[in-house]
Amino acid sequence: MNYYSLKNASPEVDFREATLRGQAPDGGLYFPRSIPHYPEKFFVDARKIPDVELASLIIKPFIGGAIPCDDVEEIVAETLNFPLPLVPLSDQIFSLELFHGNTLAFKDVGARFMSRCLRYFVKSIDRRIVVLVATSGDTGGAVADGFYDIPGIEVVILFPSGKVSRVQELQLTGHGKNIHALEVAGNFDDCQRLVKTAFRDGELNNRAFLTSANSINVARWLPQQFFYYLAYKHWPYEGSVPVISVPSGNFGNVCAGLLAQSSGLPIDHFIAACNANDTVPEFMRSGVYTAKKAVHTISNAMDVGDPSNIQRVLALFNNELNSLAKVLSSVSIDDHHTRQRIAEVFNKSGYILDPHGAVGYVALDDYLESHDTRGIFMETAHPIKFSEEIEPLIGSKIPVPPILESLPAEHHSQRMGTDYQELKEFLKGFG
């Protein structure tokens, strides 16, 4: 399988190159040259195939020989090391819980998959691989956990001092070994600027192989298709096809669902559920795309004003908004309604939503008001990560999952200012 740049000004590359580079040299996102298509019979049989086997079948054409088949199966098995249960909230609404991984967020799947692909590719690189990421909280934890103790790869994570939650900080700093957490005396934008400067620094890049683990990397994007195939497999109503509502920020997850649907996976309709950051709902309403400045909400992992993956979404539909609109709706749900419905759902059913899943839930519930069908919303994070917000709303304590009790209590991090030279000196240590 080859990948081309959506800006069309860079050469095509294979899966290995696309993963190592992250983004094409022209600044475009990589997109698969062709999309596999499966006949109806495949999906009938798929229900009987074990999860890891099915996921491996799906991802293999995208890897296209860049990793041998046996290794792909091992990577997929290590990626899907936690359950993704489909939990009914009512006759009509199911929660696809994607938060049972080590860092209690769905990003664990993409991060684990990518880290293991890089572990394979590291063998053919003559320099040390340094994965460099800036995080506002969630991504860093998933990357730290996914890459922990992977031989040949050093991970450097920049996070803004005092601006991540306690759980997030423990997830970033608890590992040590090949995970280097840098606590930057600044905000997230400072961290991002430092990382971008390092990627442009020729001297540094000659010493070590710098790569990013951000969500536009194909090795993080593509395995998110697993959620949709496994949801289909475990959907209890064989005669009907669900609507799927996806809490969306950078639109990587929902785009993976649309990709799976282009391969023939039966899904009735998609809802891209956004918080107050309504760039895409506005785009679909007006036909004009206007990037906005992100606003802060309680579902902060979705605070994105200019979602990168909208380019991939449009590419899937030949840039025809009308064809896209037949398959995807996008709505914006504000914090006020999100809070209200979190309390309502808890009082009615005892189910505890997190602020991100709640946006997906509300969008689905609203949709079902006028559509006689059933649906799934994705619960992308465990509510305990947002206990300060959720507990007062439900008037009750959230049970602590065992994985949190076993979080390492050690603290490995180094403080750093916002001056680039300081980061450069640190990174030179890997050259």
Residues making contact with ligand PLP (CB under 6 A): 105, 107, 138, 215, 247-253, 301-302, 356, 380-381
Using the minimum distance from each CB to ligand PLP, give the nearer residue, 129 or 142.
142
Cβ 291 to ligand PLP shortest distance, Å:
15
Reference 223, options 34, 75, 390; nearest CA is 75
Cβ 133 to ligand PLP shortest distance, Å:
13
Using the minimum distance from each CB to ligand PLP, give the nearer residue, 242 or 247.
247
Using the minimum distance from each CB to ligand PLP, give the nearer residue, 375 or 416.
375
Cβ 356 to ligand PLP shortest distance, Å:
4
Cβ 328 to ligand PLP shortest distance, Å:
13
Using the minimum distance from each CB to ligand PLP, give the nearer residue, 313 or 423.
313
Contact by Cβ (8 Å): 146, 111 = yes
DSSP 164: S
Cβ 182 to ligand PLP shortest distance, Å:
21
Cβ 39 to ligand PLP shortest distance, Å:
29
CB-count exposure of residue 134 (10 Å: 0-12, 13-18, 19+): buried
Using the minimum distance from each CB to ligand PLP, give the nearer residue, 253 or 330.
253
Using the minimum distance from each CB to ligand PLP, give the nearer residue, 63 or 381.
381
Three-class SS of residue 310? Answer: helix
CA quadruple 142, 56, 99, 377: dihedral, nearest 10: 130
Contact by Cβ (8 Å): 357, 345 = no
Three-class SS of residue 158? Answer: strand
For the chain, the first-to-last Cα distance in angstroms comes to 32
Q: Which residues neighbour 196 within 8 Å (Cβ) at sequence distance 6 or greater?
A: none
Cβ 243 to ligand PLP shortest distance, Å:
17
Cβ 397 to ligand PLP shortest distance, Å:
21
Q: Per-residue DSSP letters for 184-230?
A: ESS-HHHHHHHHHHHHT-HHHHHHSEEE---TTSHHHHGGGHHHHHH
Contact by Cβ (8 Å): 379, 88 = no
DSSP 124: G
For 64, 84, 127, 188, 219, the CA distances from 161, given in Å and listed in that order, are 41, 33, 31, 9, 29
Helices 355-369 and 335-349, interaxial angle, to 10°? 80
Cβ 105 to ligand PLP shortest distance, Å:
5
Query: Beta partners for 95?
Result: 87, 377
Cβ 110 to ligand PLP shortest distance, Å:
9
Cβ 139 to ligand PLP shortest distance, Å:
7
d(CA 348, CA 354): 16
DSSP 27: S
Three-class SS of residue 181? Answer: strand
Phi and psi of 367, rounded to 5°?
Answer: -60, -40
Using the minimum distance from each CB to ligand PLP, give the nearer residue, 119 or 382.
382
Using the minimum distance from each CB to ligand PLP, give the nearer residue, 107 or 341.
107
Reference 59, options 4, 7, 110, 133; nearest CA is 110
